[in-house]
Structure 1
Amino acid sequence: MNRQFYRRIKIFLCTCGIAGFIGAADFPVKVTINPSTGAVEQLTLSGDERQMEWLVKTDGTQYPWVKENLAWGLGYFTLTKGHESIKKEWQNPIEISSDGRQVTYREGDIQVQVVRTFKDGDLMERYIFTNYGKEPVSLYDMGIYTPLNDNYPGAQECINGRTNVQVWDGENAAYVNALRMGGTAPHLGMVVTEGAVKSYEVWERGDRKGNSHYRGILALNLPDCYLKPGKSYAVAWTIFSHNGNEDFKRKLLEKGSLLVACDKYVYQRGETARMYVQSGSPLENYAARMNGVSVPVVEKDGTYLVEVPLLQAGEVRLDFFYNGGKHTHADLLVINGERDLLAKRVEFIRTHQQMNNPSDPRFGAYMVYDNEGDSIYLNDTPNCNPVDRDEGAERVGMGVLLAKQYRLTKDEVLKESLLKYARFLREKLQTKDFVTYSSVDQKNRNRGYNYMWVAEFYFQMYQATGEKQFATYGYETLQAMYRQFGYGFYAIGIPVIIGLESLEKAGMQKEYRKLLKDFEKTGEVFIRNGLNYPKSEVNYEQSIVAPAVHFLAQLYLVTKEQKYLDEVKRQMPVVEAFNGFQPSFHLNEIAIRHWDGYWFGKREMFGDTFPHYWSTITGAVYYYYALCTGDKSYQVRAENIVRNNLCLFFEDGKASCAYLYPYKIDGVKGQFYDPYANDQDWALVYYLLINNGI
């Protein structure tokens, strides 16, 4: 028999046999090792009736560009010795045990040893980097591939066989929480038990590599290290199954990690931040720092509390140190004031982002703004993506925001700007029979989404001014949508409550009854489809699922028919599965999105956008769910989501359409706010819904 073939069979049987033998865990981890690379090529959970594959296939069959070099446990580092730096990748083992549990690689002077063991159904991995050379070396840009199966072929495949991966790059208390997209157990968790993870990278992204339907290959970044001859650095983690977020948290503490949480993550200047640190066992030598300055820690009943007043606006990092040099952190943001920030943004849009050139066909429109050029972006740059930078579509959010603000302030100067914008929408983006386009040429982009957003603007204008024509415009815009797109379109922000309230208030009873009937027909489609969400501009995403629940919850509040609330409750776990609880204003309760920076941003980069403003749709879902059920915890969560999105707005009134969170994306530095103020103002629209009920 071929020796390589024999070894493959032996590795497969050995790892599977041992994992399957252990019965202490409900769903023991089961892996298959590639004998050529020593990497994990398959990870499943024993007893999982869906037999979900938790890893992307790295043989090119799932995605042609994902090959063996990206498999779990392989990785890379840059080595500096003397004045020379070179990137190294470990892929080909020099030694591998017969069961695949011990694998050794050698890249120049650096040996990488991987040791895998099973205990109580969990898989434990340890990576040891040793300098076997005669000179000291520095290792940096270190990453280990963890290709979890977070991608989007379609609703049913996603719900049953894909995972939403939440990463907390929290140093010695780092973890990964991989939730099945359908929200049903078992789920997968990973916790760092030795060493640290300081950030993560995303690889293999691009418009020709999965486009918006594929999150990419994740790699966890280790801290930079300096190794003298003969010295080593190690990182270890434990991979386990769990039954949901609370079970995940319990198991993290059992396995020796910490859980960090704050009462909130965006504060107003003058407030007191509270960080809570939980540990499963008493900690030694604990201390905390705020932006490098020592602050007190109080221990009570196994929880370590840091309370610190926040006297200056800006980003705040609370570091927590424990057990002889270990540490983790929380990321906070301090702003001068929430209402003040919103008012500055509204004024900036009015004074800087409205097209005031009467010779321009877009006269009156609210436009994209280039923060680097400090000017309106005219959408005339060659080789850009013009359809997502045009004068309509998502940019209508600016109009909706200003209309809501006018309802609160009755500012006549703001009203003048809004009336100019309303004329632009009605005369330039809409035809006589209310077909609604994204641009003034009216040649393409007759999107179903446009109708919801323009109708929302008109209804807000009716509520603000009492002028019946706006209620009529809102109604006719929705009728045009239903004529063209029917009742099965999963639109973002269907204006159920405000639309019906406006028609009723305007005395338009016939139109009220017709629109309610349209909404009920849509509700029947959504109930009939259930979790079989149709593909839209993306195969499957948070902004298909959350809008469905957002719509059904509103319909329940209007009709009080139990069938709508029953369906809301059935779909809520799918909405919630997109969100994590990491202690950062970028991540906490922020839905996973990973393509918007490419389509809407100036840098045109794919990669995790945390936060992205459409995460506030989930905030709206929680807001309405609290109204439906009386469960006030969802109102708290809703406020947290919209508050965290305030980081997209700056004290000078400018804004950013996306924050690219990963350390790097395909080797290009991330961790920045994109320079375009584009479509992010929907976050403030939902902020006012959740905090003011409008």
Structure 2
Amino acid sequence: MPDVEQTTRTFPFGAGAVEMAEDGSVRAVRHPSTGHSVLLVEDADGVEGMVHGPAHRWGKGFAVLDGLGHRFDAPAEVDWRADGVRVRHRLGPLVLTLTRTVDDSWTETHELHNPGGQPVRIGSFAVSTPWRDLYGSAADSLTRAVHAHLWTGGADAWVWAVPMNGADAGLGLVLTEGELWAYSVQSRDAHTSSNLRGHLYLHLTDHARSPHTLGGQPEPEVGPGQTLRLTWRCRWYADAEAFAADRSPALEAPVLSAEVGTPMELRVADGWTATPPSPVVADRPGLVHVDATRDGRRTRVVLHAHPPLRQLAERRASFLVERQRPLERGDSRRWAFVPYDHRSQLTVLDLAWSDWSDTRERVGSALLLQELRRRGWGEAAVLDEALAGYLRFVTEHVVTPDGTVRDDTDGRRRPRLYNFPWFARFLLDAGELDLAAAVMSTYYRSGGGRFLAFELGPVVRDVGAALRRHGRDAEADELDAHLVAQAATFLELGAELPGHEVNYEQSMVAPLLDLLLSVRRIAPDRVPDEALRERLRWLRAFAGDQPDVRLRSVPIRHWDGYWFGGDRLWGDVFPHYWSILSAGVMLDWPDGLLPEEETAALRRAGTEVLRANLTGFGEDGSATCAFVYPSCVNGAPAHRADPLANDQDWALVYALRHADRLG
């Protein structure tokens, strides 16, 4: 029998435990190793306790039935059993019965019964699964939080909740009966901001609110006297490989993205029929939704066909030069790159919102032009004119002679350390070695030794190499010394990484690994192999292996749509272009640190990230800065591309740098 307390009943779940409240909802799921709950904690300090309470507990939710909304919270009946609970809710015209049994496995069955005489149309049915996907701090994240990787592609739906350290056992949820076609997010706003992923709801369907999600949402009916059943099973698994081995998908796609006209093979389970059949050959760019059906059940994978990389990059460069520069300005700021709103076909000139400014990440557009020019792609005269103008803009309005990189062209905001290596890279590749070296020296004088800027290691190495070619060894040695000291600092910090613009994120761990790998090339004895492997586990935990080109191997980010997008929408962005930082680490990972098969898998994952980001570019050179993936965020329809082209060109920069990996 379970242990009974005044308000909580505890059921052993494998080596962990499930704690249920008096109303039958799940309050906590205790990890077998740490004892911490993998769910958000009620009455916790900070934003976690502010947003999470009984209304969002596991097992509660809502439905839209025949066009009317209903929520289920306090049940009409609660029936406790030795191994779990059964609760019953009156849900408009339906009766919802939830049966939860817990032992080595934890199984939940939702039954939607229609006792009436008319069919009931289900426009949405959602169940709360409030994973503790939260960045309280780096140390808290790595010891008490999980990344929740969700796949809601019909009959093969699943969730993998893995501790953020990537080392401890994870919780795997597998759908065994029925279908899940969407997930949505609640509790995201300016108060919760970037450090909380929100409450995640699993949907039988979300047709009523977001009918287009994942290529189209079903709208099932429950006939008079009929019952619709939805069952999933949860277990603890040692790692993602063990979880994958315990699933039997009806439809698998080893390759999710390829150039137009290239066959993409599928694996289809016996008795299932795929549409379109394998191999899939797309004759034009875009997504391809492939369904497999059997005995009334359906599952889906999402593929992508892209234009040849050269064509995609050249058309994007033309779009940038023609449409994304404020040429109406009267000084060299006219050569900057700025966001572009596809709704109005106007540039965006909002300098007060720093993520829409003419500085910062927009330098990636200039770097893309440099990459094209280096390869002899595009119209040389057009690219040269654009790059010469951009160099004038940078030297007159962004980078001061002492190497300070302004955060805005008016000098109103304090310098931002992220910007320094980016502009040093542009200046170095533009032949401005003196100014590039000054930028990196100023970066370190400004506290950069305790900051994980992107591109830092390669930029320091390349600036140092250029200095040595010009006989300036002392300056190069000084930069190398800064880099080595910085690596020592972050190795000593361990899990206590300082917060950056987000308390903990993939774009802290990837730059950390990039830094350590760069120092390993300079001073191999200063970076222990196990330190690299441990931090690689942190990085890989950010991503899952869902069979959707936008998701597979792509790390979780869930704030960029708000900060960089025109719709200002919070919620999961898949893919966001800074996922390419993970790709850079994976593709540059040295041989010998991992078994050969793991290294090969790592490089495949890096390539998948690069290809995933090609979904953000149109055949005509247009682009989107964010695809907000959930069906809805705070009730607003999502699963759509943001209308702004902003800072996503970094994705093409990395694709060109690693073009040999893309074939």
Give your verdict on TM over 0.5. Answer: yes
Picking from 433, 439, 446, the partner of 2:408 is 439
1:113 aligns with 2:109: no
Aligned partner of 2:198 in structure 1 is 216
How far 1:491 sits from its partner (Å)?
Answer: 1.0
Aligned partner of 2:312 in structure 1 is 341
Give yes or no for contact 1:607–1:660 (8 Å, CA) kept in 2.
Answer: yes
Amino acid at match of 2:650: W
DSSP-derived class of the 1:680 partner: coil
Distance 2:73 2:613 in 1: 40
Aligned partner of 1:365 in structure 2 is 336
DSSP-derived class of the 1:239 partner: strand
Distance 1:7 1:510 in 2: 69
Aligned partner of 1:641 in structure 2 is 609
Picking from 65, 75, 81, the partner of 1:79 is 65
DSSP-derived class of the 2:577 partner: coil
Give yes or no for contact 1:452–1:493 (8 Å, CA) kept in 2.
Answer: yes
How far 1:118 sits from its partner (Å)?
Answer: 2.9
1:38 aligns with 2:24: yes
- How much is the aligned-residue C-alpha RMSD, in angstroms? 2.1
DSSP-derived class of the 1:448 partner: coil
Picking from 255, 261, 266, the partner of 2:257 is 266
**Cα deviations by residue, 1:331-382 (Å, 9 ceiling, x for unpaired):** 01112212210111112112222232351562221111111121221116xx
1:657 aligns with 2:625: yes
Amino acid at match of 1:427: E
Give yes or no for contact 1:496–1:555 (8 Å, CA) kept in 2.
Answer: no
**What does 1:250-289 align with in structure 2 at a 5 Å threshold?**
250-253=245-248, 258=249, 260-277=251-268, 283-284=270-271, 286-289=272-275
Aligned partner of 2:425 in structure 1 is 456
Give yes or no for contact 2:461–2:480 (8 Å, CA) kept in 1.
Answer: no
How far 1:692 sits from its partner (Å)?
Answer: 5.5
Aligned partner of 1:314 in structure 2 is 286
Distance 2:307 2:658 in 1: 20
Picking from 353, 377, 387, the partner of 1:386 is 353
**Cα deviations by residue, 1:467-486 (Å, 9 ceiling, x for unpaired):** xxx12211110111111114
Aligned partner of 2:445 in structure 1 is 483
Distance 2:538 2:368 in 1: 28
The alignment covers a number of residue pairs equal to 635
Picking from 74, 86, 107, the partner of 1:92 is 74
DSSP-derived class of the 2:589 partner: helix
**Cα deviations by residue, 1:131-154 (Å, 9 ceiling, x for unpaired):** 122322212121111111101100
**What does 1:47-58 align with in structure 2 at a 5 Å threshold?**
47-48=32-33, 50-58=34-42
Distance 2:371 2:544 in 1: 30
Distance 2:327 2:534 in 1: 48
Picking from 5, 9, 16, the partner of 1:9 is 5
Distance 2:230 2:634 in 1: 23
Aligned partner of 1:680 in structure 2 is 648
Distance 1:250 1:660 in 2: 30
Distance 2:600 2:91 in 1: 56
Give yes or no for contact 2:154–2:181 (8 Å, CA) kept in 1.
Answer: yes
Distance 2:502 2:169 in 1: 26
How far 1:158 sits from its partner (Å)?
Answer: 0.5
Amino acid at match of 1:438: D
Aligned partner of 2:435 in structure 1 is 473
Amino acid at match of 2:288: V
Amino acid at match of 1:576: R
Distance 2:381 2:635 in 1: 50
DSSP-derived class of the 1:379 partner: coil
Give yes or no for contact 2:251–2:292 (8 Å, CA) kept in 1.
Answer: no
Give yes or no for contact 1:179–1:187 (8 Å, CA) kept in 2.
Answer: yes
Give yes or no for contact 2:108–2:231 (8 Å, CA) kept in 1.
Answer: yes
Picking from 104, 120, 126, the partner of 1:143 is 126
Give yes or no for contact 1:185–1:242 (8 Å, CA) kept in 2.
Answer: no
Aligned partner of 1:563 in structure 2 is 527
DSSP-derived class of the 1:33 partner: strand
1:619 aligns with 2:583: yes
DSSP-derived class of the 1:567 partner: helix
Aligned partner of 2:208 in structure 1 is none
Amino acid at match of 1:76: F
How far 1:446 sits from its partner (Å)?
Answer: 0.9
**Cα deviations by residue, 1:62-95 (Å, 9 ceiling, x for unpaired):** 3223221111111111121xxxx32101111111
Give yes or no for contact 2:18–2:29 (8 Å, CA) kept in 1.
Answer: yes
Give yes or no for contact 1:638–1:690 (8 Å, CA) kept in 2.
Answer: no
How far 1:185 sits from its partner (Å)?
Answer: 1.7
**Cα deviations by residue, 1:529-552 (Å, 9 ceiling, x for unpaired):** 222211111111111111100121
Seq. identity, %: 28
Distance 2:172 2:165 in 1: 16
Alpha-carbon spacing, 1:259–1:150, altered in 2? closer, same or farther (3 Å): farther
Give yes or no for contact 2:165–2:538 (8 Å, CA) kept in 1.
Answer: yes
DSSP-derived class of the 1:514 partner: helix
DSSP-derived class of the 1:252 partner: coil
Alpha-carbon spacing, 1:349–1:565, altered in 2? closer, same or farther (3 Å): farther
Give yes or no for contact 2:172–2:235 (8 Å, CA) kept in 1.
Answer: yes
How far 1:7 sits from its partner (Å)?
Answer: 11
DSSP-derived class of the 2:247 partner: helix
**Cα deviations by residue, 1:625-650 (Å, 9 ceiling, x for unpaired):** 14675734433322221111001111
Distance 1:329 1:108 in 2: 31
**Cα deviations by residue, 1:475-519 (Å, 9 ceiling, x for unpaired):** 110111111114111111212333233323344322211211111
Amino acid at match of 1:32: E
1:166 aligns with 2:120: no
Distance 1:644 1:486 in 2: 31
Alpha-carbon spacing, 1:519–1:613, altered in 2? closer, same or farther (3 Å): same
**Cα deviations by residue, 1:372-417 (Å, 9 ceiling, x for unpaired):** 121221116xxxx611100111111111121122111172331221
Picking from 187, 198, 206, the partner of 2:181 is 198
Aligned partner of 1:242 in structure 2 is 237
**Cα deviations by residue, 1:248-304 (Å, 9 ceiling, x for unpaired):** 111224xxxx16442322211110011234x6xxx33x21102xxxx2xxxxxxxxx
**Cα deviations by residue, 1:557-607 (Å, 9 ceiling, x for unpaired):** 344446254432221000000011111111011000000000000000100
The farther-off stretch of 239-248 and 636-645 is 636-645
**Cα deviations by residue, 1:192-225 (Å, 9 ceiling, x for unpaired):** 00011001000011011x2001000000010332
Amino acid at match of 2:555: A
**TM-score normalised by the chain length of structure 2:** 0.92
DSSP-derived class of the 1:539 partner: coil
Give yes or no for contact 1:287–1:320 (8 Å, CA) kept in 2.
Answer: yes
Aligned partner of 1:577 in structure 2 is 541
DSSP-derived class of the 1:233 partner: strand
Distance 2:119 2:27 in 1: 34
Give yes or no for contact 1:620–1:689 (8 Å, CA) kept in 2.
Answer: no
Distance 1:109 1:58 in 2: 32
1:407 aligns with 2:374: yes
1:65 aligns with 2:65: no
Aligned partner of 1:466 in structure 2 is none
Alpha-carbon spacing, 1:477–1:443, altered in 2? closer, same or farther (3 Å): same
Alpha-carbon spacing, 1:115–1:136, altered in 2? closer, same or farther (3 Å): same
Amino acid at match of 2:21: N
How far 1:433 sits from its partner (Å)?
Answer: 1.3
How far 1:460 sits from its partner (Å)?
Answer: 2.3
Alpha-carbon spacing, 1:287–1:98, altered in 2? closer, same or farther (3 Å): closer
